[in-house]
Structure formats: structure tokens, C-alpha cells
Amino acid sequence: MSDITVIGLGSMGSALARALLQARHGVTVWNRTSAKMQPLLALGAEGAASVAAAVQASPLVMICVDNYGVARRLLGADEVSAQLGGRTLIQLSTGTPREARDSERWVRDHGADYLDGAIMAYPEKIGRADTLILLAGAQAAFDRCQPYLECLGGDLRHLGPNVGMAAAIDFGLLSRTLGLFIGAVHAARICESEGVGMDLFASALPETDRAKWLIQTIHKAAYENPGATIRTWEAALQRIQEQARDARINSEVPDFVSNLFKRAIAAGDGEKDVAALINVLRGDAGA
């Protein structure tokens, strides 16, 4: 039996599995596209032939897929859910606080413990001392998993038993970042209206200002091959809007920002860096 199973081997799931292997934990992996398993098998992971076999292989099961709907479809098949009893499921897919609570209830109904998590870093930062990973759920479940999860990031935090807290902080930080994006592109238009070059504007920003890279990207018009595309950010915005509806809080801010992102996508900029939002405010999106 392995120490931990990783289900879902996209960029983030693969990074998590590599970090676990580098820490010398026994790891079983599964992915719908089996080719993504091969690099990890070469590093010493065990490959599972099915989701059911992957769950059965380890007492700790980590799932990192696109969203909770995908996670439920993978785990919900009778032959898979029958294997959950006595295990701990670590949910690292993207979802809302309501989805986290629903997921916890479903997992507990199948005899397993549950942790809900949010990774506050890009895949290339997994394993670094400054990488923040948030986990919520029962203390006993966290204590059981902590020795295996510490290798994933140096700032591993247990938030308490309310499983919605990790997603709430995740969405809060995303909202803060999205506000910075919108403020920065509007600031760029202010400067452009007076003939101020983006290089000059960027030079006025402190090196620690997170808007500096965005202004520099606008200056270079280097919108290709981003870490996260406008389309990816818009998917996150849809989740933030969903959370606002669930919690019955004002949604004017995410609704406004989402409108700008949708206009950029409609103009063909969906696969570009978020700095390309400047084109929407210029009125020439897609140029």
C-alpha cells in the first residue's frame, strides 16, 4: 500500500505528486490520460489502472482536478465510493465554500474523513518554503495528513473545522488580485491619455508593487504564454460570483470585473495574459 494517492495529473497535480516523491513518500497516481502518469512512474510512483484502484491503494487520497463536479463524477461511481471507507480525502480542486460543505457531507456519508484545501501558488512553486497551502477540516484528519503534506509548501496552515474557510480565503485573495488587475489597467489608460509611456510609469512603481509586472507587460505588449490566461481568470470569477449568490452578498464587484473579462474573451484575447485587458479599455480588444 502507498502512503498517498494523487488523482488528477494536470500541471498542479503533477507538481504535487513530484514533491511527494522527492520527499520519499510512497505515491500512487491516476489520470484519465495515462500518458501524464509516465513521468511520475519514472520517478518511482505506482500507477493505478482505475480510480477505484487508486483510492484503494492508499489511506490518504488527494484529488486535484478542474472542479468539484469533476471530482464528484470520478469518486461517485459505486465501485469507487465503496473504497472510501476508513480513508481521508484531501480535496484540492477549485470550488466554493458551499461545494466544500456538500463534499464533506458526501465523503463522511461514505465513511471517510475530509480536508478541503486551497493552494495559493502556481505549480512551479510547489515545495518552496514560502508556498502557502490552506486546509480546513477536522483536526484529527489534518494531524494524520500533515507529515505527508509538509513537503508541498513551507506555509501549511490548518484553518479549523469549517471546511468552507479555505475556499473563502482563496476567493478573497483572488478578489484582491483581480482588483489590482483592473486598477492597474485603468491606471495605464490614465497615463496613456497624457502620453506617459508604460516604461516611465513602471519606473515610478516600487519593485515590490505587484502591478509593476503588469505595466511592464503592457509596455512590451508581451501577452502570449501567460502563467494564467484571461479565460482561466474568468473561470475563477464565475466561482466568485457563485459564492456571492450562495452567501447572498453583494456581487456588483465580481459582476463588473467579469464583464470586462468576457469582453476580452469575445474579442479573441482569452488565451492571453491578463495584461491584455488593456485592449478592452482602449476599445480595440484583440488588436
Query: Residue 257 corresponds to which cell in the numbers above?
Result: 470585473
287 pLDDT more than 70: no
The confidence score (pLDDT) of residue 227 equals 77
CA 181 to chain centre: 18
pLDDT tens-digit series, residues 2-57: 999 999 999 999 999 999 999 999 999 999 999 999 999 999 999 999 999 999 99
Distant-in-sequence, close-in-space partners of 164: CB < 8 Å, separation ≥ 6: 97, 98, 100, 101, 116, 136
CATH topology of domain 167-282: N-(1-d-carboxylethyl)-l-norvaline Dehydrogenase; domain 2 (1.10.1040)
Euclidean distance between CA atoms 95 and 116, whole angstroms: 10
**What residue segments make up the domains of the chain, in order of their start?**
4-162, 167-282
In this structure, are residues 47 and 24 in contact, taking their beta carbons and an 8 Å threshold? no
pLDDT tens-digit series, residues 205-256: 999 999 999 999 999 999 998 878 999 999 999 999 999 999 999 999 999 9
Query: Residue 219 corresponds to which cell in the numbers above?
Result: 509596455
3-class SS of residue 88: strand
The confidence score (pLDDT) of residue 285 equals 55
CATH no. of 4-162: 3.40.50.720
CA 52 to chain centre: 24
Euclidean distance between CA atoms 198 and 34, whole angstroms: 45
Domains 4-162 and 167-282 alike in fold: no
- CB-facing half-sphere around the CA of 225: CA atoms within 13 A: 1
